Structures are given as structure tokens and as C-alpha cells.
Chain A
């Protein structure tokens, strides 16, 4: 199975900060990657699909980039509602695999 490694595992940031989360695949996966946001006690929410396509309704401060093995989720200006855990998911092959998550906390 393809291993997805996110970094960092957690970070502390302030409102207005630019935040970058990285996801690395154990083999090349093209652009077959999505990003999800999850808040405590809630179901995940789709943010980005196909590595860089913004899901409808998701604020434009979220962006995704990368291809092959290295991917990035960027929040250009962190808002209070963005404090959550973020996961990448590869859909290049089966079984699909998530990264371990990155928790974004308030500094």
C-alpha cells in the first residue's frame, strides 16, 4: 500500500498566518490526491481534489499544489474557523490511504 506521510503532525499558528501542510507519497501518484478538513466530533469535509482543484463552496484561501510524490495544502490567511485537523488521501490505487493528519491549533 502507498504510504502517505504528512508534516508537520501539528502546528500552532495565529489568525492571519500563512499555513503550509505537506503530504509525501511513498511512490509517484500523479495528481491523484485530495485534502480533507475535520473538526472534532464532525465528519470530514472535502477541500481539494485532483491535487489542486478547489471544491465548490470552499474559500479561496485554501489551495493545493504538487504532483508525483510531493503535495502541499496552503491556507493563505488562517481564519478562526480553520482550526482543525487536515488529512491528505491518495486515490492513485487501492487501497486508498490517508496521511496521519495535521492538527492546526491556535497559538
Chain B
């Protein structure tokens, strides 16, 4: 079964750090760009970052630049999001998603169940 499972969320104080993981199974992980998307409570979706198949290209939204780092380990079929200097506004459910690149376009066809990150003192 094609599947993504996130882990690593939790409660952290402002200024703290967390590392999210996304375990992939059922497909050739190294063949796909991967993406993180987040959703604050009661709010819409926000694209956070993505990473190329071999990790050689990475992009992120301005609000997390210098604080969040996306990475991957193709040998372990895993995607990561290292989050430092966390702020209250980073509170959200974080989803990882596979980008199948259909038609040469972003197409997030497989999603994880999400992991909740709460930044609060």
C-alpha cells in the first residue's frame, strides 16, 4: 500500500525546536519530489517547503526561511522537517505529500495523516 506516515509533532515552547519525520512506503521514494504543507487550526492550507528527488534542490516559504530545513534520506525512505526558533504562528497540522509531477506540474497525490505541532508556553 502506498503510504506516508508523519511523526514528531507535539507541544514545544516558543523558541524551541522539533524535527518532523515522514516515513514513506509502497513506492520508490527516491523518484519523487516531496512537500510539506501545514494548516493552522481552523485555517486554510499553507505550502511550507519542498525537496527534489535527490535532495539537490529545496524551496520554502519566506516565513520559515532560516528557521526550517527540509531534508530527506532516500536510503531510509524518509522525509524530514527540522523546525527551529518556533513561534506561536507555526502552530498547525503538518502534512507531508508526494508530488507525482503529473503533466510536469505539482500534483500532490499521496498525503500523510498529518502531525500536530503546538507552540505555546
* Inter-subunit contact B111/A44 (CB<8 Å): yes
Choose the segment among A14-22, A71-79, A95-103 that binds chain B (4+ C-beta atoms closer than 8 Å).
A95-103
Given A44-B111, A101-B44, is A96 in contact with B106 using a C-beta cutoff of 8 Å? yes
- Chain B residues within an 8 Å CB radius of A104: none
- Chain B residues within an 8 Å CB radius of A94: 59
Interface of B toward A, CB cutoff 8 Å: 37, 44-47, 50, 59-62, 95, 97, 102-109, 111-114
A25-57 vs B, Cβ < 8 Å mask (1 yes, 0 no): 000000110101010000111100110010100
* Inter-subunit contact A49/B102 (CB<8 Å): yes
- Chain A residues within an 8 Å CB radius of B109: 46, 55
- Chain A residues within an 8 Å CB radius of B60: 95
* Inter-subunit contact A44/B45 (CB<8 Å): yes
* Inter-subunit contact B108/A87 (CB<8 Å): no
Docked Cα-Cα span, A55 to B110, in Å, equals 12
Interface of A toward B, CB cutoff 8 Å: 1, 31-32, 34, 36, 38, 43-46, 49-50, 53, 55, 87, 89, 91, 94-101
Given A43-B111, A43-B113, A95-B61, is A34 in contact with B106 using a C-beta cutoff of 8 Å? yes
Q: How many A-B residue pairs have CB under 8 A?
A: 68
* Inter-subunit contact A91/B106 (CB<8 Å): yes
Tell me how far the C-beta of A94 lies from the nearest C-beta in chain B, rounded to whole angstroms. Answer: 5
Query: What are 22 A-B contacts defined by CB distance under 8 Å?
Result: A1-B62, A31-B105, A32-B106, A36-B108, A43-B97, A44-B95, A44-B108, A44-B111, A49-B106, A49-B107, A50-B102, A50-B104, A53-B102, A55-B107, A87-B44, A89-B47, A95-B59, A95-B62, A96-B47, A98-B46, A98-B47, A101-B44
* Inter-subunit contact A38/B108 (CB<8 Å): no
Tell me how far the C-beta of B8 lies from the nearest C-beta in chain A, rounded to whole angstroms. Answer: 17
Closest Cβ neighbor of A99 among chain B residues: B44
- Chain A residues within an 8 Å CB radius of B45: 36, 38, 44, 87, 89, 98, 101
> Which of B60, B111, B114 is packed against the most chain A CB atoms within 10 Å?
B111
